[in-house]
Amino acid sequence: MRKTRFLLLMSACAALAQDVQPRPGQRFTFAYAGGNNLEIRIAMTFKGTDAGVSEQISSGAIASAREGNGASHYMIDEVHRQYFGYDVSAEETSVAGEYRVSISPLSWTPTKEQSPLSPVLLPKYPEPRIMRESDTLELVLLSSADGKQQLVDYIQVRYKLRQEPPPATSKGVAKDYSPDDGSVKFDFDYYNIWIGGEKYSGSSESYSQPGATLWFHCPGQGRYILSLVPHGHFSKAGEIRDNVISFDAGGRQIEIRIMKSMIGDSPGAWNLYALHDPAFQPKNADSVQFGTDRLENLLAKH
């Protein structure tokens, strides 16, 4: 089977790329804000023909206790009941804007609920290297025999954002979206999440797929499919105002704040409609997850 060949041939080669933005083909991203002043950002991508591999691999990240600026990125192969990954840490050098980045064996271990899982070590870990904020470290984790299928992590290190995404400020009444209002763009490079009026500090993951329909998973509540356009079983649940997505989730107010306005070039407010899918269970059900996709893809999984 193509899946088996893909999973058994593992490599850990790494290369630095200047000004690479891991957007095309990106499956999902997450960022870990480390201690002190640094932030490690990881984007995971399936390159080439997917052949269903993304459906059998789940991913997560936790803070690494071994380093002040570190994280563990672990992946679980649901078909073969194996797990693999690595720890990544970063520290400042004596040169401003340069960081020493180290990749080491994975320290994360499965919980009792996730067992039995067998660990798989990468055959090689790259040597520590110096990176600038404009650099991206490409780490190939899995590769098919012909090299046409790869599972790749893109790693960046930068100073933490000194200014957090602000709350919305416009005061107008929300309206239904029209194409005349301008293009819709969700830039989740920098975001924070507020739940019930409190800033969320747990783990979160953002998924970037082509499409302008939002979805949000809250542990214990399933998933909310969010649309700027009303549909059959959708009901009005919130709004997009300036740079903030807000909606009601079972009596709790959810906010996702990003840095830039999402619709057109000017501030404003638009109605947001939601369809609740309480039975939805992602592979990493303990983390807050959200992202974009095409409406038909989300409804197909509903």
Query: Around Cβ 157, how many Cβ atoms within 10 Å?
Result: 25
Provide the pLDDT for residue 115: 74
Provide the pLDDT for residue 15: 61
Provide the pLDDT for residue 6: 39
Q: Closest Cα to residue 14, out of 131, 133, 159?
A: 131
Provide the pLDDT for residue 269: 95
- pTM (2 d.p.): 0.63
Provide the pLDDT for residue 10: 45
Q: CA–CA distance from 84 to each of 28, 75, 109, 120, 266 (Å)?
A: 18, 5, 10, 5, 45
pLDDT in tens, the chain (302 residues): 233 333 434 445 556 554 444 444 444 455 555 555 777 888 888 777 655 555 667 776 666 544 457 888 888 887 888 899 999 988 888 988 899 999 999 988 887 777 789 998 887 888 999 999 889 998 888 877 777 778 888 898 887 665 788 999 999 999 999 999 999 988 887 788 999 999 987 778 888 788 889 999 988 889 999 999 998 899 999 999 999 999 999 889 999 999 889 998 888 999 999 999 998 887 667 778 898 988 998 987 66
Query: What string of DSSP letters covers 110-136?
Result: --TTT-S-EE---S--PPPEEEETTEE
The residues that bridge with 226 in the sheet, in sequence order, are 214, 274
Q: What is the dihedral of CA 11, 16, 21, 26, to 10 degrees?
A: 0
Which helix or strand (DSSP H or E) is residue 83 part of?
strand 82-92
With a CB cutoff of 8 Å and minimum separation 6, the contacts of 259 are 165, 187, 189, 190, 243
Provide the pLDDT for residue 50: 52
Q: Whole-angstrom Cα distance, residue 227 to residue 273? A: 5
Provide the pLDDT for residue 52: 52
Helical residues (DSSP H) of the chain, grouped into ranges: 2-8, 53-56, 295-300
Q: Whole-angstrom Cα distance, residue 37 to residue 91? A: 10
Q: Closest Cα to residue 3, out of 47, 57, 44?
A: 57
Provide the pLDDT for residue 2: 31
Q: Whole-angstrom Cα distance, residue 150 to residue 192? A: 30
Query: Residue 40 is which amino acid?
Result: I
Provide the pLDDT for residue 162: 59
Q: Whole-angstrom Cα distance, residue 63 to residue 108? A: 10
**121-136: burial string, b at 16+ Cβ within 10 Å, e else:** ebeebbeeeebeeebb
Residue 179 structure tokens: 């194409």
Contact 83, 110 (CB under 8 A): yes
Provide the pLDDT for residue 255: 96
Q: CA–CA distance from 70 to each of 13, 34, 45, 49, 57 (Å)?
A: 20, 6, 21, 31, 23
Task: Parse the chain into domains and list their residue ranges.
Answer: 2-159, 179-300
Provide the pLDDT for residue 226: 96
Q: What are phi and psi of 5, to 5 degrees?
A: -60, -40
Provide the pLDDT for residue 200: 87
